[in-house]
Structure 1
Amino acid sequence: MSPYAERRARLLAQMEPGSVAVIATAPEVLRNGDSDYPYRHDSSFYYLTGFTEPEAVLLLLAPRGTAPAQSILFCREKNIEHEIWEGYRYGPEAARAEFGLDFAYPIGQLDEQMTRQLSNATALYCSLARNTTLDAQVMRWLESVRRMSRSGITAPSSVRDLLPIIDEMRLLKDEGEQAIMLRAGVIAGGAHERAMRATKPGMFEYEIEAELLYEFRRHGALFPAYTPIVASGANACVLHYNTNNRRTEDGDLVLIDAGCEFEGYASDITRTFPVNGRFSGPQRELYELVLAAQEAAFQAIVPGRQYSGIHEAAVRVLVQGMLDTGLLKGSVDEAIASKSYAQFYMHGTGHWLGMDVHDVGLYRDVSQHEKPSRLIQPGMALTVEPGIYVRPAAGVPEQYWNIGIRIEDDVIVTQDGYRLLTASAPKSIADIEFIMKGGA
């Protein structure tokens, strides 16, 4: 059984008997004129199908009585004229065979088929309030079925959100997914090393970005997983800076937050290094602090412990360092309680990672009244990304002004800890300075 068929089977097993689930892929989006943005499928649709063409919908029928479960794809028809202009498309019959579906029909038959399949269905599962086009279609389908009530046909008695079920499935990565994510991490790590080797004072940020993108594509990762951040000097203190058009200067640090997408899965790496190849004293001091915070966070990745413990471990180390450097005053506990550290560290220490760079899945256990942080489980994939960002301000030691540092890696939780996916990206001060001197 293919991984996609296995996932569909697991989803069907969680649905009410006799119910129907429908999920659409992402639409094409116009960029300008008659040019579209590069197409990217919907992640949850791809998770269940492996199908990457636009204008596609998956229908799942849960078993009831003697009626078996069914997986039905609606997709674009074969059209030789369109293929001359736009390239190959599967068409229903080839898609059914290639992706292990029970049936496949032209997308133009969706309305007719949905009215029929929803007749006497017990419930409808769909992605509520996520796709306005699909929402409108669902309303039309339900209305059409309800108009047949005099014939003894009933519409689904409830409409349920499908995505929370899929989100929890996607949160735990199987061996195949982990292998793809490792490859994405290796490619992205190599791209960061290439950028380090290429960087020299006076380069524009976008020139450094070009080195990353070249290395991604050269190894089969055709797109970045998100818009790369190449932030030099004071720009590194802007968390989501991505203009990438400043000319770097001797003495700057450059913070690169960039990952690639490989076979539908994201990597997410941040490295910070000096454009001249040598950390200054204050830069070195804060870099070592962030590195120590990341190591503390790594040690908190233990199955059965709360996810929030990862952030708490990093914060405690960072706060102690802020006190030691004079960025903060008082005690560690006071600074944590008052969150005064947020002047220099204002984001979390990580997030789920997978098909989306900020991947799906809840961070809290909503089954409990207090909604505590959920427990870490083997198979979870996450980033670990502490940082420190020092903007000029009264009372802040000037030697640290405009220093922004973040160090981010990707991990998979294992039975006894974690597996690092991004070890190929140089990280220690010694390694970075060696590489930027031209070391092999």
Structure 2
Amino acid sequence: MFAPATYAARRAALAQKVGSGLVLLLGNADSPMNYADNIYHFRQDSSFLYFFGLDMPNLAALIDIDADRATLFGDDGGLDSIIWTGPLPTLAEQAEAVAVADTRSHAQLAEQLAEAARSGRQIHYLAPYRAEQRIWLAERLDQTLAAIDAGASTELTRAVIDLRAVKSSDEIAQMENALEIAYRMHVLAMGSARPGVREQEIVGLMEGLATSQGRALAYPIIFSRDGHILHNHGHAHTLKAGDLVVNDAGAESPLHYASDITRTIPVGGRFNPQQRIVYQAVLDSQLAAIAAMKPGVPYREVHDLAARVLVEGVAELALFKGRAEDVVNGGAYALLFPHGLGHHIGLDVHDMEGLGENEVGYGDGITRSTDFGRRSLRLGRPLREGWVVTVEPGAYFIPALIDRWAAEQRHAHLINYAAFDACRDFAGIRIEDDVLITADGARVLGKPIPKTIAEVEALASA
């Protein structure tokens, strides 16, 4: 954990932003895989971690803003639990570690919430994303599930987003710690993706590396020669020379900060001429986007810049007609690049999106587009110093999408469908890094992970 004073300062800042009332933060409970005693690996709620830092199940906390008091709720285990789990810190010991003086039982939390509801005090809570939390809140506050969903506090949500979005130097150190593991995972994959090797074998190597360091994955690994399937979690293929493999893999730090990195690997050690053109275009797109990032620049504009550079970079393949600016402004570019440029990253790999994508990524005069492609951009608002965002342009040839748009003759004056059809077996390419917004620009976090054509080919052919 961070120093106790860190959590006290975060709670004080939260109370100041929310203003008055009670703030309820629920930690997560163990989640059964198939029966009560066989559980998934525990992962604490990220907002609970941010303000209370305790990585144990069955905890909750209440911040009484008006009384300037934080209380930790839980129950100490008895002899039966010690037999199965070994001795655990007491509730009081856990509270002391995060600068909380007041501890009470779970039963007392229910009583306190009931009393607050009877007296008309405002109870601020975040939108619950687990069914058991929704049910628990509905029972304690005597409301329907629909009312619980509708009653999530706007003031608390905005305050949490504002605070969690700006990363401290200690948080950046945690993210770079996670990136050190990601570096090793990706270098291992580049040297292992050879003809005749099954995708699952390489996924196992990466997962094993993370596990050997006591780390959890930040998200399920995407490692596939079917890179045009954006979130493909199948690993059944045997690699062959000439394949392109998209490897989207990251690990967590000891305090659960995420890394999120994507590289694309040429199986056999060399990109063919067509692959080389597209790969360099994606890389140039990413580098141009990073160079343009600084406080005050709307990320939506950076997305459009990345799309223009990508379209210009594939000009030799004659995929589009006319000026790159027209292709991007008209939305035709999304046939090649159908997702957003990136998102916040921190304690969650898609940081805070459990609080609502639009609440996290939009506002400040920026509204979410309904256009295909741009509507998948999770972050559009102006960048701020201290934010960490992913930058992950890609180029994909998705046969079903090509066929649908060609049948509709969508953007026919801007798209050369014959050229796209000739590339329908290409699959996809994506390159992604985690980028800190600094006072006057941006910095890619972590040790540089090979991504130039020369660097990737050298590792893939070694």
TM-score of the superposed pair, with normalisation by structure 1: 0.88
Q: Kindly tell me: are residues 101 and 432 of structure 1, through their superposed partners in 2, closer, same or farther at Cα, counting changes over 3 Å?
A: same
Q: What amino acid is aligned across from residue 211 of structure 1 in structure 2?
A: L
- How many Å apart are 1:178 and its aligned residue? 0.8
Secondary structure at 1:213's aligned position in 2? helix
**Stretch of structure 1 that moved more, 409-418 or 370-379:** 370-379
Whether 1:266 aligns to 2:265 is no
**Stretch of structure 1 that moved more, 262-271 or 422-431:** 422-431
The aligned runs of 1:199-218 (5 Å cut-off) are: 199-218=193-212
* Greater share of strand: 1
**Structure 2: how far apart are the matches of 1:196 and 1:248?**
13
**Structure 1: how far apart are the matches of 2:193 and 2:152?**
54
Secondary structure at 1:40's aligned position in 2? coil
State the Cα deviation string for residues 12-31 of structure 1 (Å, max 9, x = none).
112334x1111111232221
State the Cα deviation string for residues 240-290 of structure 1 (Å, max 9, x = none).
101111111111111100111112111000000111111111111111110
**Structure 2: how far apart are the matches of 1:338 and 1:3?**
47
Q: Kindly tell me: are residues 132 and 231 of structure 1, through their superposed partners in 2, closer, same or farther at Cα, counting changes over 3 Å?
A: closer
Could you tell me which residue of structure 1 aligns to residue 163 of structure 2?
A: 169
The aligned runs of 1:234-383 (5 Å cut-off) are: 235-262=226-253, 263-360=255-352, 362-366=360-364, 368=365, 373-383=380-390
Secondary structure at 1:261's aligned position in 2? coil
- How many Å apart are 1:196 and its aligned residue? 0.9
Q: What amino acid is aligned across from residue 320 of structure 1 in structure 2?
A: E
- How many Å apart are 1:330 and its aligned residue? 2.4
Q: Is the 2:189–2:206 contact (alpha carbons within 8 Å) kept by the matching residues of 1?
A: yes
Q: What amino acid is aligned across from residue 431 of structure 1 in structure 2?
A: E
**Stretch of structure 1 that moved more, 261-270 or 122-131:** 122-131
Q: What amino acid is aligned across from residue 126 of structure 2 in structure 1?
A: S
Secondary structure at 1:14's aligned position in 2? helix
- How many Å apart are 1:82 and its aligned residue? 1.0
- How many Å apart are 1:214 and its aligned residue? 2.3
Could you tell me which residue of structure 1 aligns to residue 42 of structure 2?
A: 39
**Structure 2: how far apart are the matches of 1:136 and 1:29?**
15
- How many Å apart are 1:117 and its aligned residue? 5.2
Q: What amino acid is aligned across from residue 9 of structure 1 in structure 2?
A: A
**Structure 2: how far apart are the matches of 1:159 and 1:127?**
5
Unaligned runs of 5+ in 2: 144-150, 353-358, 370-379, 403-416
Could you tell me which residue of structure 2 aligns to residue 405 of structure 1?
A: 429
Identical aligned pairs, as a percentage?
Answer: 32
**Structure 2: how far apart are the matches of 1:311 and 1:192?**
25
**Structure 2: how far apart are the matches of 1:275 and 1:371?**
38
Could you tell me which residue of structure 2 aligns to residue 194 of structure 1?
A: 188
**Structure 2: how far apart are the matches of 1:324 and 1:251?**
20
- How many Å apart are 1:40 and its aligned residue? 0.6
Q: Is the 1:124–1:159 contact (alpha carbons within 8 Å) kept by the matching residues of 2?
A: no
Whether 1:426 aligns to 2:455 is no
Could you tell me which residue of structure 2 aligns to residue 152 of structure 1?
A: none
**Structure 2: how far apart are the matches of 1:281 and 1:73?**
61
- How many Å apart are 1:98 and its aligned residue? 2.1
Q: Kindly tell me: are residues 370 and 197 of structure 1, through their superposed partners in 2, closer, same or farther at Cα, counting changes over 3 Å?
A: closer
Q: Is the 2:95–2:103 contact (alpha carbons within 8 Å) kept by the matching residues of 1?
A: yes
Q: Kindly tell me: are residues 247 and 142 of structure 1, through their superposed partners in 2, closer, same or farther at Cα, counting changes over 3 Å?
A: closer
- How many Å apart are 1:87 and its aligned residue? 3.9
- How many Å apart are 1:390 and its aligned residue? 1.8
Could you tell me which residue of structure 2 aligns to residue 154 of structure 1?
A: none
Unaligned runs of 5+ in 1: 145-157
- How many Å apart are 1:218 and its aligned residue? 3.1
Q: Kindly tell me: are residues 382 and 88 of structure 1, through their superposed partners in 2, closer, same or farther at Cα, counting changes over 3 Å?
A: farther
Q: Is the 2:27–2:44 contact (alpha carbons within 8 Å) kept by the matching residues of 1?
A: yes
**Structure 2: how far apart are the matches of 1:411 and 1:212?**
23
Q: Is the 1:269–1:410 contact (alpha carbons within 8 Å) kept by the matching residues of 2?
A: yes
Q: Is the 1:186–1:424 contact (alpha carbons within 8 Å) kept by the matching residues of 2?
A: no
- How many Å apart are 1:115 and its aligned residue? 3.1
State the Cα deviation string for residues 60-103 of structure 1 (Å, max 9, x = none).
0113xxxx411111123132321221344323222222222121
- How many Å apart are 1:10 and its aligned residue? 0.7
Q: Kindly tell me: are residues 60 and 190 of structure 1, through their superposed partners in 2, closer, same or farther at Cα, counting changes over 3 Å?
A: same
Q: Kindly tell me: are residues 365 and 437 of structure 1, through their superposed partners in 2, closer, same or farther at Cα, counting changes over 3 Å?
A: same
- How many Å apart are 1:216 and its aligned residue? 1.9
Q: Kindly tell me: are residues 223 and 327 of structure 1, through their superposed partners in 2, closer, same or farther at Cα, counting changes over 3 Å?
A: same
- How many Å apart are 1:338 and its aligned residue? 2.6
Could you tell me which residue of structure 2 aligns to residue 155 of structure 1?
A: none
Q: What amino acid is aligned across from residue 187 of structure 1 in structure 2?
A: I
Q: 1:23 aligns with which of 25, 41, 58?
A: 25
| Rg comparison, structure with higher value | 1
Q: What amino acid is aligned across from residue 393 of structure 2 in structure 1?
A: P
Q: Is the 2:193–2:239 contact (alpha carbons within 8 Å) kept by the matching residues of 1?
A: no
Alignment length (residue pairs): 416
Q: Kindly tell me: are residues 370 and 187 of structure 1, through their superposed partners in 2, closer, same or farther at Cα, counting changes over 3 Å?
A: closer
TM-score of the superposed pair, with normalisation by structure 2: 0.84
